[in-house]
Amino acid sequence: MSQATETDAVREDGVIESVSGPVVTATDLDARMNDVVYVGDEGLMGEVIEIEGNLTTLQVYEETSNVAPGEPVENTGEPLSVDLGPGMLDSIYDGVQRPLAVLEDQMGAFLDRGVDAPGIDLEKTWEFEPTVEEGDDVAPGDIVGTVPETESIEHKVMVPPDYEGGEVVSVDGGNFAVTETVVELDNGEEIQMRQEWPVREARPAKEKETPRTPLVSGQRILDGLFPIAKGGTAAIPGPFGSGKTVTQHQLAKWADADIVVYVGCGERGNEMTEVIDDFPELEDPMTGKPLMSRTCLIANTSNMPVAARESCVYTGITIAEYYRDMGYDVALMADSTSRWAEAMREISSRLEEMPGEEGYPAYLAARLSEFYERAGKFRNLNGSEGSVSAIGAVSPPGGDFSEPVTQNTLRIVKTFWALDADLAERRHFPSINWNESYSLYTDQLDPWYVENVDENFPDRRQWAVDVLDEEGELQEIVQLVGKDALPEDQQLTLEVARYIRESWLQQNAFHDVDTFCSPEKTYAMLGAIETFNDEAFDALEAGVPVEEIQDIDAAPRLNRMGVQDDWEEYISDLEDSIAEQLREKY
């Protein structure tokens, strides 16, 4: 919804003709596509999704039981929009940005139908400090003042992108509600701390740039082997129980983004409860303040209406774009896009549209593309740089990666973290399959790792990839003839690969120390394994039997590197011990 314009004509209300789950048809409704409507005597919120002659089809964001033909439909004349302004962080919303905490205070844990509340508190006052003066010229997107939104984040009040801009004729500092005017322009435009924006429309920016900085996650397999850029896109597909949600939680907790937007899209209620319970208790590792002070949660569980699930990812990415416009790096977690696609499939079937593969609508790929393409690193209208990194979990039925949602997602995203049920059964977590996963960002991110971690980082990563590839080939032979039938050098390669898997790729999300691993520690840990590799092959060439190499006391200490507080001293001492013990053998 544009703040600058209002609906020109009075729109006529309609009458319900039929009800089919969340899909309602109405007659005599003067409406446009995507207009928000209020359906029935209870005023259930809905949206226009199809117009054919005098018949208008609506999707309703609430349960439609007891809604009957003949009840009225009221049209607002404006598209589904979100309230943008201070107060969104440290909040929990449903799929259409209704604040759940506010509604709980009004009616308890179970929400009534037809209730609504603004996305941000319209009465709360905020301390506005202007950054412009009378006589200054401002353009769309320019920052006119700041508000201390939380302990961690300074909210930047901007000229709405759909304003014309002009000369400042009045500006006030002090405490204001979000609906009060803080800056007035010579063309009559009044700037408030609150904006509204239609969720299905991307917020504008000057240009989209190539991302060259990694989104450091603190997870060794991601940062070390398959990094994602700030402004990048990633998919985490995996079957039930393989660790998608825990991986998403880890990224939300530890990724070095300024803002985190977590969208629980159609997930089980107990998982969202865990997020809602855990996040307020977590300390932000970057600031030492509560993690929720830079987090916005959107909870749309599997028992909530299916239409609201379809809209929740748009709500999330619109909020993310708003903070991007301020110059922040935002990480958006969508868990899971499969549930979003299932919502589209259900609504499409009720509309009797021609089904595509496995019953999904023919426009599935287009909708997924629209969502992921709103991510990126941008030069904003005000000249600042910001990014939105979109990380979507995918839940393929039975772990079948050939199903349409996974395949269409893979055509779009540039980072693929494939979760493996077999690894999860062996208690290898994160259960990301290093043979199937990939990142297309490595080449453009390598200069950052060279400059900020070590100049040998790309070479050391490639060494680990080569060892794991060789292990994969050798395992096929081992299954046929057994490990003891291999030459000693290949047996030693398998031992080195085992340490890479168990000491480096495995990581305990629930250990106070191991839950987060910096790029420097990630590099150093792999370096210790490489030291063992180099010293062990030197010993083998000197005639030391492979059994004696494997039996040294120092090697098992590689498995304890991740849980060390004083890891630099521990790894340095460990490398010395490995070299000393192996050199004593010859």
pLDDT in tens, 261-285: 999 887 777 777 777 777 777 777 6
Same domain, 71 and 162: no
Q: What is the pLDDT of residue 105?
A: 74
Pick the last residue of a domain from 395, 421, 443: 443
Same domain, 469 and 528: yes
Q: What is the pLDDT of residue 8?
A: 41
Q: How many distinct structural domains can be found in the chain?
A: 4
Q: What is the pLDDT of residue 495?
A: 96
Same domain, 357 and 215: yes
Identify residue 186 by its one-letter amino acid code.
D
Same domain, 563 and 534: yes
Task: Report residue 564 CA to chain centroid gap.
Answer: 29
Q: What is the pLDDT of residue 5?
A: 39
Higher per-residue pLDDT: 440 or 245: 440
Q: What is the mean pLDDT of the chain?
A: 91
Ranges 107-121, 362-376, 505-519: which has the least confidence? 107-121
**CB within 8 Å of 557: residues ≥ 6 apart:** 574, 577
Pick the last residue of a domain from 403, 419, 443: 443
Decide if 24 is inside a domain.
yes
Same domain, 37 and 137: no
Cα–Cα distance between 342 and 501 in angstroms, integer? Answer: 35
Decide if 108 is inside a domain.
no
Same domain, 424 and 350: yes
Check whether 358 has a pLDDT greater than 60: yes
**CA 473 → CA 316, 437, 469, 478, 546, distances in Å?**
43, 17, 7, 9, 20
Higher per-residue pLDDT: 156 or 95: 156
DSSP H helices in 279-419: 306-325, 337-350, 364-373, 404-410
Structure tokens at 103: 């509604």
Q: What is the pLDDT of residue 108?
A: 63
Same domain, 539 and 564: yes
Same domain, 362 and 403: yes
Same domain, 225 and 303: yes
- Closest Cα to residue 380, out of 324, 316, 317? 324
Check whether 9 has a pLDDT greater than 50: no
Ranges 109-113, 485-489, 511-515, 560-564: which has the least confidence? 109-113
Check whether 110 has a pLDDT greater than 90: no
Q: In this structure, what CATH number is given to the domain that contains residue 71?
A: 2.40.30.20
Decide if 402 is inside a domain.
yes
Check whether 2 has a pLDDT greater than 50: no
Decide if 201 is inside a domain.
no
Decide if 462 is inside a domain.
yes
Same domain, 354 and 495: no
Q: What is the pLDDT of residue 109?
A: 63
Q: What is the pLDDT of residue 464?
A: 97
Ranges 176-180, 252-256, 276-280: which has the least confidence? 276-280
Categorize the per-residue pLDDT at 111 as very low, low, confident or very high, splitting at 50, 70 and 90: low
Q: In this structure, what CATH number is given to the domain that contains residue 474?
A: 1.10.1140.10
Decide if 185 is inside a domain.
yes
Q: What is the mean pLDDT of residues 3-29?
A: 75
Q: What is the mean pLDDT of residues 67-92?
A: 93
Decide if 482 is inside a domain.
yes
Same domain, 485 and 572: yes
Q: What is the pLDDT of residue 117?
A: 84
Q: In this structure, what CATH number is given to the domain that contains residue 362?
A: 3.40.50.300
Q: What is the pLDDT of residue 309?
A: 81
Treating both helix axes as pointing N-terminal to C-terminal, what angle do 244-254 and 269-278 enclose, rounded to 10 degrees? 20
Decide if 240 is inside a domain.
yes
Number of neighbours of residue 507 by Cβ within 10 angstroms: 22
Sequence-ordered strand ranges (E) for 232-324:
233-237, 259-265, 295-300
Domain coverage including residue 339: 207-443
| pTM reported for the whole predicted model | 0.91
Same domain, 317 and 430: yes
Structure tokens at 109: 């844990």
CB 94 within 8 A of CB 100: yes
Categorize the per-residue pLDDT at 398 as very low, low, confident or very high, splitting at 50, 70 and 90: confident
